Chain A
Amino acid sequence: MTSETVIGLEVHVQLATASKMFCACAVSFGAPPNTLTCPVCLGLPGSLPVLNRRAVELGIRTALALGCRLHPESQFHRKNYYYPDLPKNYQISQYEYKGHPPLATGGALSVPLGGEARAVSIRRVHLEEDTGKLVHDGAASLVDYNRSGTPLMEVVTEPDLRSPLEARLFLAHLRSVLQFAEVTSGRLEEGTLRCDANLSLRLPGQPYGTRTEVKNMNSLRSVERALRFEEVRQREIRARGQAVVQETRHWDEDRQVTFSSREKEEAQDYRYFPEPDLVPLTVDAGWIDRVRAELPELPAARRRRYIEVFELPEHDATVLTTTRPMAEFFEQAARLFPQPKVISNWLIGDVSAYLNAAGREIDDVPVRPESLAGLLRLIDAGVLSGRSAKEVLEEMLRTGRAADAIVAERGLNQISDEGMLTAVVQEVIAEHPGPVQDVRAGKDQAVTFLVGQVMKKTRGRANPALVHRLLRERLSSG
């Protein structure tokens, strides 16, 4: 009997607020070290935390998007441990124990897995503050507290995932939902979305096996690979008749392995107790209703709208709503060039192909919806052939130059001058009597050949539709 893999995820989401969780310092990246701090996020003696309303709102939003139950009162707790990136040597978080729920519990996210939608249960959503950053420099470790106090939200799933691929798909979908809800920018590579996983194996129907925690997976791909590695590792251990050790393991991207982290130390005793510097957080029905009313459109709703309003097929709608930036791009382009299906084709086709190959997101490339609209207008006006348009688009994506400029520079303007094309058509007819006769005899494939010859002579710039028409006219007239 093969064992089944059981995976649960703990996702840390950096909330899209302007200021930190407990102080007014800006949340920002790349600033010089220790330039975005204050007595509170530095943990100076005498400092006190004050909770950011917007962070709570984004937490409420998340809870609504995930169908969780929001608790009218929740407490913050101190998680006490010593580490240099923790300025107070405790982290303000929300613990969960009997009678004291965190912000929200008990939701579910429906994820398309293997052709069907499955509900993955959410155990809880809670708020906490982020730590500073530690950099290693030889014999010293260097600490930067700019990130300390950044608002974090932790989303914890039940162990409902059954494979590394499912974990990856869930994470991608969760990220998408959170992006659409404008809760976070959700970029794993930048660390605004971080994921730890718990993995164990069990024989179906048996109790859960010993689980290991896997950390340091910095992309969707690493999540899948790390869990795959861990799955295999645990299977091999069990095959040898040994027991899996409960421990924390780190994913090493370079070596593509998980390794046991640090020395064996006693289980951490965090000595949780309610944070005495904060009063219990109250979330009343009125607040929840206001947040619900302002909830941005989530992927499922948007998908439906694309199908109904833009009349796109389901496949298109699904692909376009995979990420928020893509969906936004599409809608803006559709506003400027009201042929949604055409836009969709280009986005799903050539644009996505380029992005995948270059490993980039649509936000990262210099093409804006206006530029794409501009390109499509050229095609529409018959100035540019479809084939040429692909070339132009590729350069646009690379360089950000406008379509007109590229077309003009390369002389790619489609030839729609009837007089000129008629001349070329007559030339071709004269040069290829054989195929001409085939056409008159009813062999239509010969038309394609002749069209091709016209295209060759015009170096691809002839308007194909026009060429077809002119050829037929000439050929039918004798």
Chain B
Amino acid sequence: MIDDLAVAHVARLSRLELSPQEVAQFRAQLGEILAYVRTLDALELGDVPPAAPAPAAGGVLREDIVGPCLTQEAAVANAPAVLNGYFAVPAVITDE
């Protein structure tokens, strides 16, 4: 149904580090869940349109008026690492 490679691939796409035991465990659980959701395959769906988002929503657009911003202090208040008002992360690897 779903193999270790697929689990590893999905974990990579999701940026989730997994141990080999976790890969095995999730593989079993995801396999079971996927088998369950695949019961939908039995349905003939033909031209049924996918459900439209928020059918009754007002859909009002915002006027182009500037509003108040957070102060720098508030913006970075929850940051794990800050340097001179910037959010700091380990260096992004590029060839530049």
Contacts and interface: CB of A to CB of B under 8 A. Distances in A.
Q: Please say whether chains A and B are actual partners in one complex.
A: yes
Contacts of B66: 18-19, 24-26
Interface in B58-96: 59, 61-72, 75-76, 81, 83-96
Contacts of A42: 70, 75
B92 A35 contact: no
B69 A26 contact: yes
Interface of B is mostly: loop
A279 B69 contact: no
A36 interface: yes
Given A33-B85, A279-B59, A17 B64 contact: yes
Contacts of A82: 15
A21 B15 CA distance: 28
Q: How large is the interface on A (under 10, 10 to 19, 20 to 34, 35 or more residues)?
A: 35 or more
Interface in A176-198: none
B43 interface: no
B80 to A, nearest CB: 12
Q: How large is the interface on B (under 10, 10 to 19, 20 to 34, 35 or more residues)?
A: 35 or more
Contacts of A137: 83, 88
Contacts of B68: 24, 38
Given A139-B90, A279-B54, A19 B65 contact: yes
Given A36-B69, A38-B69, A262-B95, A140 B90 contact: yes
A52 B67 contact: no
Interface in A1-42: 17-19, 23-26, 32-39, 42
A250 B96 contact: yes
Nearest to B50: A274
A339 interface: no
B61 A52 contact: yes
B75 A35 contact: yes
Nearest to B57: A279
Given A34-B75, A141-B91, A280-B52, 10 more contacts: A19-B66, A25-B66, A32-B85, A34-B72, A35-B72, A53-B63, A140-B89, A141-B88, A278-B53, A280-B53
The 6 tightest CB contacts between A and B, nearest first, are A24-B67, A54-B64, A142-B86, A53-B61, A279-B59, A143-B87
5 contacts: A19-B62, A33-B84, A53-B62, A82-B15, A143-B88
Interface of B: 13, 15, 52-54, 57, 59, 61-72, 75-76, 81, 83-96
Interface of A: 17-19, 23-26, 32-39, 42, 50-56, 82-84, 134-145, 250, 259-263, 269, 271, 274-276, 278-280, 282
